[in-house]
Amino acid sequence: MKLTRRNFLGSAVGVLGAGLVEGCQEKLPRYLVPYTAPPEDVVPGVARRYRTVCRECPAACGATVRVREGRAVKMEGSPEHPVSHGALCPGGQSAIERLYAPTRLGAPWAGGLQIGWDRAEAALAEGLKRALDAKQPVVVLTRPERGQLGALFGAWLTALGQPASQVVTFDPMARGWLREGQRRAFGTAGTPVHDLAAARLLLSIGDDFVEEGSPVEAARALAAQRAAGGRSIYVGPRLSLTGASADEWLSVEPGTELTLVLGLARQVLELGAPAAALPAGALQALRGRLAPYDAATVTSRTRLSRGTVAELAAALAGARPSLVVGPGRAVAGGDAAALAEAVHVLNALLGNVGTTVRFLADPAGLPGMELAEFTRRAAAGEIGAVILHHADPLGYGPAYAALGKALARVPFVAAFTNELDATARQAHLVLADHHFLETWSDVSPRPGLRGIQQPVMTPVLGTRPAADELLAAARALGRTAGLPEGTFGDVVRQAFSEQEIEHGLKVEAAEPLPVSLQATALRDLPAPAPLRGPGMGLPLVVAPTIRHLDGRTPRSALLQELPDPLSGHSWTGWVELHPTTAAALGVKASDVVALEGPGGRVDLPAHVTPTVRAGVLGVPVGDALPLLDGHGPIGLGVRATAAPTGLRRPLHLPEAGHHQHGHELARSVSAASPKLPPQEPLPSMYPPVIHPERRWGLAIDLDRCTGCGACTTACYVENNLPIVGPEDIQRGRSMSWLRIQAFVDETPTGPQASFLPLGCQHCTNAPCESVCPTYATYHTKEGLNAQIYARCIGTRYCENNCPYGVRRFNFFEWPRPGNERLGLNPDVTVRDRGVTEKCSLCIHRIGEGEELARLEGRNQLRDGEIVSACAATCPTKAIVFGDLKDPGSEISRRAADGRAYKLLGELNTEPGVVYLARRREKA
Amino acid sequence: MRPAHPGRPLLLALALCLGCQRASSAAPPGAADAPACAPLSAAAAAEPSQPLPPLDLTLGAPGEPAPADEIAFSHKAHAGDCRIPCLACHVYATTSPVAGIPSGRKCMGCHKFVAKEKPGVRILAARVKAEQPLRWRRVFTLPDFIYFSHRAHLRSKAKLECKDCHGDIAAEKVVRQETPFTMGRCLTCHEQKKAPRDCTTCHR
Amino acid sequence: MSQPDLTRIERDTLATMSSTSRLYWAGLAVSVALVALGGWAWSLALRRGLGVFGLNEPVMWGALITTFVFFIGVSHSGTLVSAILYFTRSPLRAAIGRSAEAMTVITILTAGLYPIIHIGRSWLFFFVLPYPNQRQLWPNFRSPLTWDVFAISSYVTVSALFLYMGMLPDLALLARRVTGWRRPLYRVLSLGFSGTDAEWTLFEKAYPIFAGVVIPLAVSVHSVVSWDFAMSVMPGWHSAIFAPYFVAGAIFSGIAMAILLLSGLRRGYALERHITPAHFDLLAKLLLAMSLVMTFVYLTEFFMAFFRGSPAEVEVFTWRATGTYAWVFWLVMFCNGVAPLACFWSRVRRSLPALIVISVLVSVGMWFERFLFIVTTLARAYDPANWGNYRPTWPELLICLGGFGWFFMLFLLFVKIFPSMSVAETMQHDHALTLPAPAGGETEASHA
């Protein structure tokens, strides 16, 4: 191009021009579009709340969904629900993200092509018809559906002239060994209910109950138990979140947990346990069966010191009541059932049965077909058609390879799903189901409790509810005997009263089962089962994580962005190696290690940490799947070989310290005298800051925090935080306003984990405020450290000068794919690139609360009337939001506690966030 | 709480959401403002007996001028000559941050009987009959990072009226924004009325 | 009788303007190319976002701010040195005064670009300027960045005036000498200075005032820039020594840059007669002195850190010397602390090549020194779980290079349009120096 004066000038100004264009983009909507007919229950600009049930995991917490202009923008726990008590876990908080996720299916698929619903329905009916004509069975393969939908499946099969028992429940994370052990010990089926909170001493045999099972309920119970002064001990080769919250972590040789428990049982008997509960004969028999497990055997096998075991036994015998839970997946070896049996026996000996362990009668349900049997028959080509309902066996790796092959032999497979998962890809017909926030259903997390799931909004995409599609197919086939006339939604609605639906919950009577120890208990104990695996590999601990529970795919982008509580890694898998193990293998942190298991091979970067026992491989369940074979439940008693590959895959911020380097950030006090030396106020050159009416703040009790990350996730959804993706996370550009820092400090008694939820401290003398040249950040009269995005020019001086490093910078205009824009919270500004942001203490909630109060003519606010998103969702109420100037408020009570301290108090920033040191037996 | 009504179209909601998403907005966008008027467009002249083509409700490229309204709505005729109070149509103004725009049905509440033969009303009727939404050009806008609450202003001690900010709409055949909504204007008024001048009152 | 001298002086001193060597064109071409590259890299940042840089949480300031501080530093030698030399009536001044002052103005113009480039929303940089607006908003006068704005803008104004003032006589001279388009330019610029005694006396009165104002200003500006860091709470920044430390560093790097530029001019325009080894010898001594001061400062910093014993402080300084950036640390120590020690030997001081090598080392050292204390502090602050690291990306480096290009481009243009040495002063003092010696010779000649 010839450089004329004109185009020279052009290119010269181009540089600045690019900037100016950025500056003045017209972003406002140009039209106003009124309703055609105004819905009487919607006021534009005012949020409505609906009760429903969270279906992200089988725990089925009751939920409240905030809806703005007909779009769900936030989900929180339902305060009335006995499981959630107003809280949700990270999974529940990510439900909104999944609802609008770009990976969601919006239309039916067949042969890799999108098709219309007419064709899809026709195809479904046709497929079923063929199977029926061929007199081949039709099978429904579903995720656990403990509610009317499960019943409907049965009725539907009956209508098709099939045995109603042809419903296969697919639950890879089901802990069947617990039921088996229960059957052996007590001879009863029934749902065990644990009262964690009541236990003076809680012994968990590798049961990571705050991550698997029912995270919210369990975490709340654990916090209550600690608050009541109860002790908790975690046994297992890897430190899980439960272990991190426990007072003590006993790391035993993998596969020897059974020996330990039996040894404890024996010593407890010797100490004269409340044997009254047992028939004398049974007691005699037990003594005999426990004889071989003397202290010597136990110590030699478990590698625990004789003293430790004796102490533990004494403590158990002494504590009234105590509770032994487990075994969890993390320890369950080949002899899981026997271990479960032993745990039940130990509980019985300790007199816990009936007090902290109760059994509820299971609701009468149809005995479904076993997965194994289904696989066999399908492989034999006997099955004519399979309806998959949110079941994705092939997503769980080689463990279900056989099932995959079998499915391939089924002439017709239709999959109801939200996302195109591995199994759906194999299906002949994929039917896009509603998200659980868009449809009716109900689910019973445990006997006596039924959660009601109601649609809170019109569907985002062109999906249709699975149940209604099945009914439609039945109608098309003219086989409607015993099926409801209307939609499944009507069925659910009719089953509950208006009021029950409003509360999203129905409580029924559930009578406890009387149980007594079988005389045959512990009769045939297996020899300690050797762990399976190629060669003499290392024991593999397959760890469930709070983020990905069972490692289901496709994963929520939000949960992948959320750092793992203990390791701090996002967007990647990892293998945990003890420093000694790593040294032996010759690998350093972030070196890629090749793992070879019975199922296959996977390469993972090494996370070198003392939180896993030496000579043991710890892998999150999602990443371990390729290693596992179909033998027994997922990930039990497996060995794997590990070898360095010479490659490196840097894990997030390798420089980041994993211990505190003497900085006393996450502090602890001795449980005996929970008091910290007082921090006397330091002199300041600035005039004292006055808060005329209120001083908002947070009180964070480290003694309650389990590090689950629900607060962080809630913050992402509430405040429209962008998801930056793996590359930028790698560069340390996470936009999280509230991060949970895990420190693992080496102590004489082994590694000690502590969690520190860290967001903006809303300092009274904020270092960030004085340095901002434009007043973009300043201190409000109510004690907030406010950030005015419109005024921020992005000098990032504030971020440099924040000793807590909690300010975030928008390096890019982060993408929001799919319909994610619809899920944005309209009350919170979405930040442009080039500006700094940080925790606002949910200033929009504060503003709304105060506005409403003013409209009611009140100036006073009740404590708890305004709650920040993080505090609202914290399962253990570790985080409390409130007014520090209100002497009656919970936060003030906590601030006055002897354990209260301010972070980096020596800098005299006078934070508005109060931390309460964690109680430890040895601090 | 009553269950939601899955079948019901929430078009305003959709538009608002699209709106605020695009606007990356803290402010409840759109509905705060009075609808605009524009000279009668070709569509208006069209014989409403034959069905009207549905309107394009997408936002279009930033910066493009919005097409004219197909109905030449006159605030003068309604609020001025007929003395209909603002809140009769913008019903949410005292209960919500958003004032809201009357639905087509609400318009028909009167126009079933009044001025039926006027071209604009015929278009209205056709739209409502076909259950198609109306579409108005917006006149009053606030930057996307501003939180503004109608209810807080209308129910404040200051006894504000619509015209204090929107001007004398009742006199305007075609609504124009006489004085722009600048921060200075808000601040001056807040100062006079002893209202909070904290940044976070509007910036959230 | 000294007429021939004067004409020759005139010819020599104006050589930069009259003749244009191939070297000059090459230099200009290179610097313009660098500017273009830098501009393109900046446009990248404007279009995509600052994510194209290597910055991250926690290291939010990097190469750009480093270069900003570096250029501010360089700027200081110029005017400061020249003013000091003026008062000390040093013979050096006639030779280097002008180019030093020019260097100052140009470097500030360069440095000023960096804060604008580095902020997230460059197009709103004017928010830091105090101007009445309908938003009723003013900048935050507690922020050291706001102080920077004032300090630097006033500094650039005064140094520009100082430079211009000193040029008046020469401009007047030029207005008489040159032809073509430059003639009217100089005529206007010379403000009708015609060299009458009255004008000269006024000039002699006025000039010291500027010289006097510049000196404290120079000191203040660099102190203010240092407060960007010293006013923070960060370990390794929050230290009372920063102001003197920055001023010293400024003079240090400035002298190095002066040596480089002068040797360039001298070589390029055969000014050997006017810029003599004696001059370089003086500069080298100054360099040496400053180097010793810097070494002292480095030691003090470490001493204070461990003396205070705050864990964060100790952490930062230990990491500086041993951590990821240890190599930078030791490089800095060598360039700024060790290399200049060679100037203890007069042979080194008088050998131009040696001085050039040392000056280059010092310039490099000073850039990395700024990089070192900016990055290590941010990467290793109070919260171990938030420790990070930083590696500049190529757009950042291109923008830094572009800055150097910009600097040399402006300087080359300057020496082409304005006299790079004060003709008037050179005459005065060369005359004074050379008169006695050749006088005898000439008288003999006159007899003949």
From the list C47, C124, C312, the residue facing A18 with the nearest CB is: C47
Burial class (CB in 10 A: 0-12, 13-18, 19+), A13: exposed
Cis preceding-peptide flag for B62 (omega within 30 of 0): no
From the list A30, A780, A847, the residue facing B60 with the nearest CB is: A30
- Residue C3 CB neighbour total at 10 angstroms: 7
Q: Given this model, what pLDDT does residue A630 score? A: 79
Q: Given this model, what pLDDT does residue A3 score? A: 41
Q: Given this model, what pLDDT does residue A653 score? A: 60
Residues C14, C439 contacting (CB under 8 angstroms):
no
The yes-or-no verdict on residue A632 having pLDDT over 80 is no
Beta bridge partners of A620: A543
Provide the pLDDT confidence category of residue C308 given band limits of 50, 70 and 90. Answer: confident
Chain B: give the shortest CA distance to residue A70, in Å.
Answer: 6
Out of A8-22, A585-599, B15-29, B92-106, least confident range: B15-29
Percent composition of chain B: helix, strand, coil (DSSP 3-state, to 5): 40, 5, 60
How far is the CA of A900 from the CAs of A699, A703, A802, C384, in angstroms? 9, 11, 22, 22
pLDDT tens profile A500-518:
999 999 998 888 888 888 8
- Cα-Cα-Cα-Cα torsion A764, A770, A773, A774, nearest 10 degrees, comes to 20
Q: Report the alpha-carbon distance of residue A117 to residue A431 in Å, rounded.
A: 9
The yes-or-no verdict on residue B60 having pLDDT over 90 is no
CB contact C378 to A (< 8 Å): yes
Cis preceding-peptide flag for A34 (omega within 30 of 0): no
From the list B10, B20, B101, the residue facing A826 with the nearest CB is: B20
Chain B: give the shortest CA distance to residue C54, in Å.
Answer: 27
CB neighbour burial string for C67-98, b if at least 16 within 10 angstroms, e if fewer: bbbbbbbbbbbbbbbbbbbbeeebbbbbbbbb
The yes-or-no verdict on residue A9 having pLDDT over 50 is no
Residues A539, A612 contacting (CB under 8 angstroms):
no
Nearest CA among C219, C97, C220, C222 for reference residue C162: C97
Number of separate helices (H) and strands (E) present in chain A: 29, 38
**Helix spans in A801-912 (H):** 843-855, 869-873, 890-895
- Would you call A794 helix, strand, or coil by DSSP? coil
Rounded to 5 degrees, φ, ψ at A848 are: -65, -45
* CA A772, chain centre distance (Å): 38
Question: What's this model's pTM, rounded to 2 decimal places?
Answer: 0.91
Q: Report the alpha-carbon distance of residue C80 to residue C76 in Å, rounded.
A: 6
Q: What integer is the mean pLDDT of A160-177? A: 90
Contact flag A767-C232 (C-beta cutoff 8 Å): yes
The chain-wide mean pLDDT, for chain C, equals 87
Element (H, E) at A192: strand A191-194
The string of DSSP letters for A376-394 reads: HHHHTT---EEEEES--GG
N- to C-terminal Cα distance for chain A? 74
Provide the pLDDT confidence category of residue C75 given band limits of 50, 70 and 90. Answer: confident
Task: Find, in chain B, the residue whose alpha carbon is nearest to that of A825.
Answer: B26
The yes-or-no verdict on residue A376 having pLDDT over 50 is yes
CB contact B30 to A (< 8 Å): yes
Q: Report the alpha-carbon distance of residue A503 to residue A79 in Å, rounded.
A: 10
CB contact C387 to A (< 8 Å): yes
The yes-or-no verdict on residue C443 having pLDDT over 80 is no
CB contact C27 to A (< 8 Å): no
Side-chain-side CA neighbours of residue A229 (13 Å): 6
CB contact C121 to B (< 8 Å): no
Q: Report the alpha-carbon distance of residue C89 to residue A855 in Å, rounded.
A: 77
Nearest CA among A727, A728, A569 for reference residue A658: A569
Q: Given this model, what pLDDT does residue C267 score? A: 77
Q: Given this model, what pLDDT does residue A509 score? A: 86
Out of A556-570, B42-56, B165-179, least confident range: B42-56
Q: What integer is the mean pLDDT of A423-439? A: 95
How far is the CA of A542 from the CAs of A236, A546, A618, in angstroms? 12, 13, 6
Q: Given this model, what pLDDT does residue B59 score? A: 59
The string of DSSP letters for A502-567 reads: HHTEEE---PBPP----TTTTSSPPP-PPPB-SSS-EEEEEE-BTTTBTT-SSPPHHHHHSPPTTT
C133: which chain B residues are within 8 Å (Cβ-Cβ)?
184
Task: Find, in chain B, the residue whose alpha carbon is nearest to that of A438.
Answer: B6
Q: Report the alpha-carbon distance of residue A407 to residue A386 in Å, rounded.
A: 8
- The proportion of chain C whose per-residue pLDDT surpasses 90, expressed as a percent, equals 53
Q: Given this model, what pLDDT does residue B37 score? A: 34
DSSP state of C190: T
Residues 294-323 of C with CB under 8 A from A: 310-312, 315
Q: What is the CA radius of gyration of chain A?
A: 29
Provide the pLDDT confidence category of residue C194 given band limits of 50, 70 and 90. Answer: confident
Q: Report the alpha-carbon distance of residue B183 to residue A258 in Å, rounded.
A: 71
CB contact C446 to B (< 8 Å): no
- Which subunits sit against A, judged by 3+ Cβ pairs under 8 A? B, C
C387: which chain A residues are within 8 Å (Cβ-Cβ)?
653, 655-657
pLDDT tens profile A830-872:
999 999 999 999 999 999 999 999 999 998 899 999 999 999 9
pLDDT tens profile A766-780:
999 999 999 999 999
Torsion sign (Cα): A540, A544, A547, A549:
positive
Residues 219-258 of C with CB under 8 A from A: 228, 231-234
Q: Given this model, what pLDDT does residue A298 score? A: 92
Q: Report the alpha-carbon distance of residue A626 to residue A638 in Å, rounded.
A: 12
Q: Which of A655, A739, A741, A903 is the best mutation test for C, with the most CBs of C within 10 A?
A: A655
Nearest CA among C127, C43, C70, C20 for reference residue C363: C70
- Mutual angle of helices C242-269 and C63-87, in 10-degree steps: 70
Nearest CA among B143, C42, C55, C149 for reference residue A19: C42
CB contact B48 to A (< 8 Å): no
Contacts of A679 (CB under 8 A, 6+ apart): A901, A902, A905
A26: which chain B residues are within 8 Å (Cβ-Cβ)?
62-63
- In this predicted complex, what is the ipTM? 0.86
pLDDT tens profile A250-301:
998 888 899 999 999 999 988 876 655 667 777 888 888 999 999 999 998 8
The string of DSSP letters for A430-445 reads: EEEPPPGGGS-EEEEE
Q: Given this model, what pLDDT does residue A255 score? A: 84
Task: Find, in chain A, the residue whose alpha carbon is nearest to that of B7.
Answer: A458
Q: What integer is the mean pLDDT of B110-123? A: 91
Q: Given this model, what pLDDT does residue B173 score? A: 84
CB contact A795 to C (< 8 Å): yes
The tokens describing A52, both together, are: 């429903």
A797: which chain C residues are within 8 Å (Cβ-Cβ)?
143, 145, 228
The yes-or-no verdict on residue A533 having pLDDT over 70 is no
- Residue C428 CB neighbour total at 10 angstroms: 12
pLDDT tens profile A186-212:
888 888 999 999 999 999 999 999 998
The tokens describing A243, both together, are: 């272990």
The yes-or-no verdict on residue C223 having pLDDT over 60 is yes
Nearest CA among B99, B107, B109, B173 for reference residue B134: B107
Residues B151, B95 contacting (CB under 8 angstroms):
yes
Q: Which of C127, C136, C140 is the best mutation test for B, with the most CBs of B within 10 A?
A: C136
Burial class (CB in 10 A: 0-12, 13-18, 19+), C236: buried
Chain A: give the shortest CA distance to residue C189, in Å.
Answer: 27
From the list C56, C57, C139, the residue facing A774 with the nearest CB is: C139
A50: which chain B residues are within 8 Å (Cβ-Cβ)?
1, 3-4
Chain C: give the shortest CA distance to residue A722, in Å.
Answer: 14
Task: Find, in chain B, the residue whose alpha carbon is nearest to that of A46.
Answer: B96
Chain B: give the shortest CA distance to residue A780, in Å.
Answer: 7
pLDDT tens profile A778-793:
999 999 999 999 999 9
Contact flag A14-C43 (C-beta cutoff 8 Å): yes
CB contact C135 to B (< 8 Å): yes
CB neighbour burial string for A223-247, b if at least 16 within 10 angstroms, e if fewer: bbbbeeebbbbbbbbbbbbbbbbbb
- The proportion of chain A whose per-residue pLDDT surpasses 70, expressed as a percent, equals 94
Q: Report the alpha-carbon distance of residue A446 to residue A360 in Å, rounded.
A: 8
- The proportion of chain C whose per-residue pLDDT surpasses 70, expressed as a percent, equals 92
- Which subunits sit against B, judged by 3+ Cβ pairs under 8 A? A, C
The yes-or-no verdict on residue C338 having pLDDT over 70 is yes
CB contact C196 to B (< 8 Å): no
Residues 105-164 of B with CB under 8 A from A: 105-106, 128, 131-138, 141, 143-145, 147, 149, 151-152, 155
Strand A412-417 relative to strand A231-235, pairing: unpaired
Burial class (CB in 10 A: 0-12, 13-18, 19+), C194: exposed
CB contact C134 to B (< 8 Å): yes
Q: Report the alpha-carbon distance of residue A41 to residue A812 in Å, rounded.
A: 39
Provide the pLDDT confidence category of residue A529 given band limits of 50, 70 and 90. Answer: low
From the list C50, C121, C232, the residue facing A811 with the nearest CB is: C50
Q: Given this model, what pLDDT does residue A537 score? A: 85
CB contact C444 to A (< 8 Å): no
Residues 887-906 of A with CB under 8 A from C: 904, 906
- The proportion of chain B whose per-residue pLDDT surpasses 70, expressed as a percent, equals 71
Strand A668-670 relative to strand A918-920, pairing: parallel
DSSP state of A250: E
The chain-wide mean pLDDT, for chain A, equals 89
Counted across chains A and C, CB pairs separated by less than 8 A come out at 192
A801: which chain C residues are within 8 Å (Cβ-Cβ)?
232-234
Residues A222, A876 contacting (CB under 8 angstroms):
yes
Q: Given this model, what pLDDT does residue B5 score? A: 38
From the list A33, A502, A784, the residue facing B200 with the nearest CB is: A784
Element (H, E) at A349: helix A336-349
Chain C: give the shortest CA distance to residue A623, in Å.
Answer: 25
Q: Report the alpha-carbon distance of residue A828 to residue A838 in Å, rounded.
A: 12
C136: which chain B residues are within 8 Å (Cβ-Cβ)?
183-184, 187
Residues C106, C414 contacting (CB under 8 angstroms):
yes
Q: Given this model, what pLDDT does residue B65 score? A: 64
Chain A: give the shortest CA distance to residue B83, in Å.
Answer: 22
Chain A: give the shortest CA distance to residue B57, in Å.
Answer: 8
The tokens describing A413, both together, are: 């497979």
Q: Which of A796, A833, A835, A903 is the best mutation test for C, with the most CBs of C within 10 A?
A: A796
Burial class (CB in 10 A: 0-12, 13-18, 19+), C191: exposed
Burial class (CB in 10 A: 0-12, 13-18, 19+), C197: exposed
DSSP state of A661: T
A821: which chain B residues are within 8 Å (Cβ-Cβ)?
17-18, 21-22
The yes-or-no verdict on residue B19 having pLDDT over 70 is no
- Region for residue A82 given its phi and psi (left: phi exceeds 0; alpha: psi -120 to 50; beta: otherwise): alpha
Contact flag A71-B17 (C-beta cutoff 8 Å): yes
| β-sheet with A385-389: strand ranges across | A113-114, A109-110, A429-432, A412-417, A385-389, A138-142, A167-169
